[in-house]
Amino acid sequence: MRERVQVYRGDITQVVVDAIVNAANTSLTPGSGVCGAIHAAAGPELEDACRALGGCPTGDARITPGFRLRNARHVIHAVGPIWRGGSQGEDRLLASCYSKSLELASEHRLHSIAFPSISTGVYGYPLERASRVAVSTVLDYLAEHELPSLVILVAYGDHAYAVLDRTLREAMMERHDSASLVEHK
């Protein structure tokens, strides 16, 4: 499974994949951070395509062409929750936007997808908690689906990379230990 999930440090618009995921807002308009970077790289056609979609609710995702992106044919716009302390269903909504993005990738027969750390920027979601939700959701989905065959979790910066990498390694060890226990019973 580890070979199907990788952690990458850098600019998501430079990752060579079938689709990159945009940490979008509910109106799907260009924002700051990763959203602004993706819109800038994809060109004004992306904003027009997003406007035509009429928005997207929190916890859901929509797909558009990648337009001027050099390395991705599609953009999947995932709307994560704003952090409100953890008691407003944030984990469920964050997991949902990862799952919905993966479902769109599968439906469109996409083999590779790259995710930013959704909701951890201006939406204020704690990085460690968001990383656990992301990794768990991705691993659960891949355990039951053939596509996508590669998921890249993109970290912007050294700290985010260290957190994502550690979270993925720990989750893989836990799943391996659980599988070993089941096999030996």
**What per-residue confidence (pLDDT) applies to 143?**
95
Tens digits of residue pLDDT in 135-152: 999 999 999 999 999 999
* Average pLDDT value for the chain: 94
Percent of the chain whose predicted confidence (pLDDT) is above 90: 92
CATH number reported for the structural domain that contains residue 64 in this entry: 3.40.220.10
- Burial code (b: 16+ CB inside 10 Å, e: under 16) for 120-158 equals bbebebebebbbbbbbbbbbbbbeeeebbebbbbbbbee
Compute the average pLDDT of residues 161-180.
Answer: 87
Residue holding tokens 């199907």? 4
* Structural domain harbouring 173: 2-184
**What per-residue confidence (pLDDT) applies to 84?**
97
DSSP 45-103: HHHHHHHHHT---TT-EEEEE-TT-SS-SEEEEEEPPPPSSS-SSHHHHHHHHHHHHHH
Q: Which of 85-94, 113-122, 174-183 has the lowest mean pLDDT?
A: 174-183
Residue type, 117: S
Tens digits of residue pLDDT in 63-73: 999 999 999 99
- pTM to 2 decimals? 0.94
Question: Sheet containing 74-79: which strands, arranged edge to edge?
Answer: 5-9, 150-155, 112-115, 19-24, 74-79, 61-65
Q: How many independent structural domains does the chain possess?
A: 1
H helix and E strand count, the chain: 5, 6
**What per-residue confidence (pLDDT) applies to 181?**
42
Compute the average pLDDT of residues 11-16.
Answer: 98
Q: Nearest 5 degrees, angle CA 55-CA 59-CA 62?
A: 45
pLDDT confidence of 176, banded at 50, 70, 90?
confident
Residue type, 2: R
Nearest-angstrom CA–CA distance, 77 and 148: 16
Question: Is the sign of the CA dihedral 173, 174, 176, 180 positive or negative?
Answer: positive
**What per-residue confidence (pLDDT) applies to 2?**
62
Ramachandran bin of 54, using left for φ above 0, alpha for ψ from -120 to 50, beta for the remaining angles:
left
Query: Which long-range contacts does 173-179 make (Cβ < 8 Å, 24+ apart)?
Result: 175/1, 175/139
